[in-house]
Amino acid sequence: MTPWLIFGAKAVGGLACQMGVGPAFTIVERRVAAWIQGRVGPNRVGPLGLFQPLADLVKFISKEQIVPADADRVLFLLGPLLVFAPPIFGFCVIPYGNMIGDEHLQIANLPIGVLFVMSVISTGVYGMMLGGWASNNKYALLGSLRASAQIISYELSLGLAILIAVMMSSSLDLNVIVEQQAGKGFGAWNVFGGGHLSQLPSGLLGFGLMFICALAENNRLPFDLSECEAELVGGYHTEYSSMSLGVFMLSEYLSMILMCGLMTSIYLGGWSFPGITDPSDHSILAGLISWAVFMTKILSMMFVYVWIRWTLPRFKYNQLMDLGWKAFLPASLVNIALLAVIGVMGV
Amino acid sequence: MANDDRVGSRDVEPKGFLAKTLMKLYVPSVLSGMKKTMEYMIRPKATLQYPEVKRVTRKGYRGEHRLKQDEQGRMKCVACFMCQTACPAECIEITAGPSPWPDRDKAPVQFRIDMMKCIYCGMCEEACPCDAIELTETYTQVSTSREEKIYDINRLLSN
């Protein structure tokens, strides 16, 4: 019984990290957007407007679910779920805290965690393609083509940027990657070279590339061409209404959380923070502190996402593709070569 | 300096390979833009939470009308029709009658202002020889019918 209880507790904890923060972050996004634009933002529902996501949920649920005539009903309704599932699935290998007793705070301790996340992330694009295609609407189809082309292009650079961290840590196990960065000061974080000063440029470049690719991968501004509501008819979810649209929107936040969690884990030291967490302390309190550190890191990164969203204008489609294929891909390949040379020379 | 905001613009010539590369990648421009948005984010907002917080009107704000009374509680108006004549919107309608007091001939029996027609120009206030009508600083007017928007003499006296 006990292993199942522990597994259940870990699963609930991991899900709470993601499913709790996702809706909560919609209110952060709206408030920050409002502040940047000189407005106040939603502040009426509950204290400080904190219950706004609940009101949004009620609105989404109480709207009519419309399936267009001649749309493929099954695929149409399956689309949002196929976008919704991968981020949750991927989050189960992200370590969200230090060990408590003998248990890693991680739903599934896979030795190939990084590969698993990469492969799971890339399946999210099928939901978008199916949703756009099944809508029986040419604008939705074009939107889904835009979205999938963008995601597939940036997945390449994203994978190479992740590879930098993997090369620094010589492991695909996210737990090992985080533990290598924990308890040795800021210099041990992969973004600062993973303990070797000679790797600092590679770490910084890798993290920068990964951050930008994650923006593109999550369809966030300045790369939100797939769903620029104002001028391109909504994108792949043009025909969606009610909760299926809500699921699309929620899964956008969930994949943001997954991306931020992955970036935090492989580049920014995961749940560790010099002076606050102690990797050798496996008590419950230390576990909770490390969890709080991890969540703070994720939320700060998502705040930067929102900050960037309301600062930078959108790229044109050709600029987006140029950036992905002609700038990021060569840059990450050069970065890998550089890091490999440094690694072989053993400086 | 007046051009401090333009750190990332093209007319600033960067020096050195790293600076040139960063400039080409728009890194300084992006960072200065993000600095700007952060400034806007922490700046206090002009919005008032209206029903809870009401705007304090400036002195001399022209809101709803009021008919003034003297120290003995008698209304100052002598029904001279100056305000009705001066009104460009023709929203004032006075019915005059004999005055109950000995120091004047007439007093209004009815004094109506159609608040839907009124343009709050303050000409009535300027035209009045007895300083009997003035515009208050009340700017909220709530009513559920058109009839309610026509203020009669009692409403104006109690304003």
**Segment B100-150, tens digit of pLDDT:** 888 888 999 999 999 999 999 999 999 999 899 999 988 887 889 988 899
pLDDT at A220: 82
Same structural domain for residues B25 and B103? no
pLDDT at A139: 85
Note whether residue A52 is domain-resident: no
Contact flag A40-B30 (C-beta cutoff 8 Å): no
Q: Bigger pLDDT: A316 or B6?
A: A316
CATH label of the domain that carries residue B143: 3.30.70.3270
Residue A144 C-alpha, separation from nearest chain B C-alpha, in angstroms: 29
Same structural domain for residues B76 and B7? no
Same structural domain for residues B39 and B69? no
Same structural domain for residues B142 and B72? yes
Kindly state whether B142 is in contact with chain A, defined as any CB-CB distance less than 8 angstroms. Answer: no
Taking residues B80-105, report their average pLDDT. 91
Same structural domain for residues B15 and B85? no
pLDDT at A227: 67
pLDDT at B119: 93
B63 by Cβ neighbours in 10 Å (0-12 / 13-18 / 19+) ranks as middle
Note whether residue B48 is domain-resident: no
Which residues of chain A have a pLDDT value below 50?
A: none
pLDDT at A62: 92
* Tally of domains within chain A: 1
Give the helix/strand (H/E) hosting A105.
strand A103-105
- Parent domain of B14: 1-43
Note whether residue B60 is domain-resident: no
Residues from chain B that touch A311, judged by Cβ atoms under 8 A, are 30, 33-34, 36-37
pLDDT at B1: 43
Band of pLDDT at residue B93, cut at 50, 70 and 90: very high
Pick from A309, A312, A314 the residue to mutate for testing the B interface (most B CBs within 10 Å): A312
Pick the residue from chain A with its C-alpha nearest to B26: A312
Band of pLDDT at residue B82, cut at 50, 70 and 90: very high
DSSP letter (8 states) at residue B5: G
* Tally of domains within chain B: 2
Same structural domain for residues B79 and B36? no
Residue B57: is its pLDDT beyond 90? no
Same structural domain for residues B25 and B72? no
Residue B5: is its pLDDT beyond 70? no
Q: Which of A32, A37, A311 sits opposite B34 (nearest CB)?
A: A311
Which of B118, B144, B143, B123 lies closest to B133 in space, CA to CA?
B123
Note whether residue B49 is domain-resident: no
Q: How far is CA B112 from CA A18, B109, B145, B153, B157, in A?
A: 64, 10, 16, 6, 11
**Is the distance from CB of A79 to CB of A130 less than 8 angstroms?**
yes
Residues from chain A that touch B47, judged by Cβ atoms under 8 A, are 39-40
Residue A40 C-alpha, separation from nearest chain B C-alpha, in angstroms: 7
Note whether residue A123 is domain-resident: yes
Pick the residue from chain A with its C-alpha nearest to B36: A311
- Parent domain of A16: 3-47+60-345
Note whether residue A54 is domain-resident: no
Contact flag A36-B43 (C-beta cutoff 8 Å): no
Residues from chain B that touch A29, judged by Cβ atoms under 8 A, are none
Beta-strand ranges (E) seen in chain B are 65-67, 92-98, 106-114, 133-135, 150-151
Note whether residue A53 is domain-resident: no
Note whether residue B57 is domain-resident: no
Same structural domain for residues B69 and B32? no
Same structural domain for residues B27 and B100? no
Pick from B31, B45, B50, B53 the residue to mutate for testing the A interface (most A CBs within 10 Å): B45
Contact flag B41-A35 (C-beta cutoff 8 Å): yes
Note whether residue A286 is domain-resident: yes
Same structural domain for residues B137 and B70? yes
Contact flag B36-A307 (C-beta cutoff 8 Å): no
Same structural domain for residues B90 and B36? no
Note whether residue A55 is domain-resident: no
Note whether residue B55 is domain-resident: no
